[in-house]
Amino acid sequence: MKIIRVDLSTFKHKIEELPLKYQRFGGRVLTSNIIYNEVDPSCDPLSGGNKLIFANGLLIGTGFPNSSRLSIGGKSPLTGGIKESNTGGLAAYRMFENGLRALILENKPSDDHLYIILIDNGNIEIIEMDELRGKGNYETVEILKKKFGKKNGILSIGPAGEMMLKAASINSTNLYYYPDRIAGRGGLGAVMGSKRIKAIIIKPVKKKPEITYKDEKKFNEIKKKFIKELIETKKGLAKYGTAGLTEFSSTIGGLPTRNFKQGSFEGVNNISHIKLNEILKTRGGKHGLPCSPYCVIRCSNIFIDKNGKRLTKIEYETIAMNGANLNINDLDSIASINYLYNDLGLDSIEMGDSFGVAMEGGLLEFGDSNKVIELLKELYKMPAKTEESWGRIIANGCVEVGKKLGVKRVPAVKGQGLPAYDPRVYKGMGVTFSTSPMGADHTAGPAIAGRKGMDREKDYGALSEANSKLELSHDLQLMSLLCDCMGCCFFIGPTIDVMEIFVDSLNALNGWELKLEDLLDIARNTIKREREFNKNAGIKDQDKLPEFFYKEKLSPTGNVFDIDKEDTKKLWSYL
């Protein structure tokens, strides 16, 4: 596998063999190690000194289940630290077809033109396309499909990325060639915009690379057994998608409601997985869709509005953060808002936090979905950098909104808004939010109901109990990082059993003699480097939640986050 480096100050590129030191690195492990080795932690994230890295995983192209996820890494304009954002879609697989493990964008153009990067059979072309300026992701992708073909993997930014707003996402086309898969966290769309790249197009190839297996029979035995297990055990996700968490979270009192003031939402039945399924069926929408090649869990969907227009997928994070958290109790409004997020290129989690803080600050009323839509549509006007608007402020993240409105209750860690799990109930998730180098990010260590750490026999306690949550988050952060390294969706399970499947699969594939501890050491060393990068970037003493989570009792449970801050800070002390 190869790496392509594109120097955007000269528009030249070079193709390198994957260095020996990176042979066992994929996904976030690879992006973070390249950033650590090559990016000055003190650089401005929107300067030419930052790099934007796209990397697939170690099991890409093998047919291993759910192994076509893409990691995108850089220094985050939102957190000021190291960042990886993960997405499905076609891009990771198309990179594999072109023989690529990673694409690295370096420096930035001296002019103000917009460009696309075309990757065709391993060759690179950089093309000026100013006609895409200000266009949303959906229109951009349609133009590119007409010009370059339908079946490409396309990574694109919307107006938010062009304006370098801190909540800007990078969108990836799905298996149906719509830009519905989102790398949202950390504002990496702004980094792509700073480099004046509107889109990256990765064409399929006629002859795919041949994979040489050390023991193909054993690899296929492991793969087939695991696929069968996942199909059997993940039926609920295939039927209801991630939206199944909405009603559950409200029932246990952990659903963010009205800017994290409550944990249960009285309108939950109107935004539940049952209601979503009903709408999908009656309007001709779809559920049980895969997000990327070789996905066997199939938790995605397509939402159709009342007029029969295809909008986009709709998932738990979006429903919770833009439904209950904003006191919006109908899925049509949430789906319309999410369509605008996707088209503008914005992270629905960060935006849900931002609007929640804006509502608390009195800029608009809780529940006013029309005003949310109005403020979002401001962004299509592409105001100049010097022109301040509320739409622009909100799209710079919840911390920025809090500063502008004087709101103290801002649900963010390391500058990034919390995902849809109130840490006063989801206490293992609260530890992850506190201590991950990624900032508040559920994918970094998803301590949802039923998750266990590396000790198969250990009782890690109920969700809302403080005991053992430090160990649980610690273990899940390591195992989730290794899922990213493989290019796998963490829905396959960041468990010790899955880690052993990874070890056996890599050994059968490559002839390595890895042990589980070797794989875990890769994860530990990566987190050590991420934390060192953050420290050198100026992020210090931030392994804690906002103060109100420790002090305010959450209705209706009465919970507070009662895991000692000093203990939390020691989570990675062994590093």
Who's near 370: CB < 8 A, 6+ residues apart? none
| pLDDT digit string, tens, across residues 135-175 | 999 999 999 999 999 999 999 999 999 999 999 999 999 99
| Percent helix, strand and coil across the chain, each to the nearest 5 | 40, 15, 45
Mean pLDDT of the residues in the chain? 96
User: What pLDDT sits at residue 542?
Assistant: 79
Q: Please check the confidence at residue 575 and state whether its pLDDT lies above 70.
A: no
| pLDDT digit string, tens, across residues 508-533 | 999 999 999 999 999 999 999 999 99
What value does the mean pLDDT take over residues 420-439? 97
Distance CA 55, CA 498 (A): 21
Q: Please check the confidence at residue 208 and state whether its pLDDT lies above 90.
A: no
Instruction: Categorize the per-residue pLDDT at 388 as very low, low, confident or very high, splitting at 50, 70 and 90.
Output: confident
Instruction: Categorize the per-residue pLDDT at 226 as very low, low, confident or very high, splitting at 50, 70 and 90.
Output: very high
Q: Please check the confidence at residue 384 and state whether its pLDDT lies above 80.
A: no
| Total Cβ atoms within 10 A of residue 169 | 35
Rg (CA), the chain: 22
Instruction: Categorize the per-residue pLDDT at 507 as very low, low, confident or very high, splitting at 50, 70 and 90.
Output: very high
Q: Domain 2-202 falls in which CATH fold?
A: Aldehyde Ferredoxin Oxidoreductase;  A, domain 1 (3.60.9)
Distance CA 128, CA 149 (A): 18
Distance CA 559, CA 424 (A): 6
pTM listed for this prediction: 0.97
Instruction: Categorize the per-residue pLDDT at 386 as very low, low, confident or very high, splitting at 50, 70 and 90.
Output: low
Q: Please check the confidence at residue 385 and state whether its pLDDT lies above 70.
A: no
User: What pLDDT sits at residue 569?
Assistant: 87
Distance CA 19, CA 67 (A): 22
Residue-level length of the chain: 575
For residues 232 and 388, the model is more confident at 232
What value does the mean pLDDT take over residues 416-440? 97
User: What pLDDT sits at residue 67?
Assistant: 97
What values do phi and psi take at 562, rounded to 5?
-115, 30
| pLDDT digit string, tens, across residues 529-550 | 999 999 999 998 779 999 999 9
Q: What residue spans define the domains of the chain?
A: 2-202
What value does the mean pLDDT take over residues 443-449? 96
Distance CA 292, CA 176 (A): 10
| pLDDT digit string, tens, across residues 74-121 | 999 999 999 999 999 999 999 999 999 999 999 999 999 999 999 999
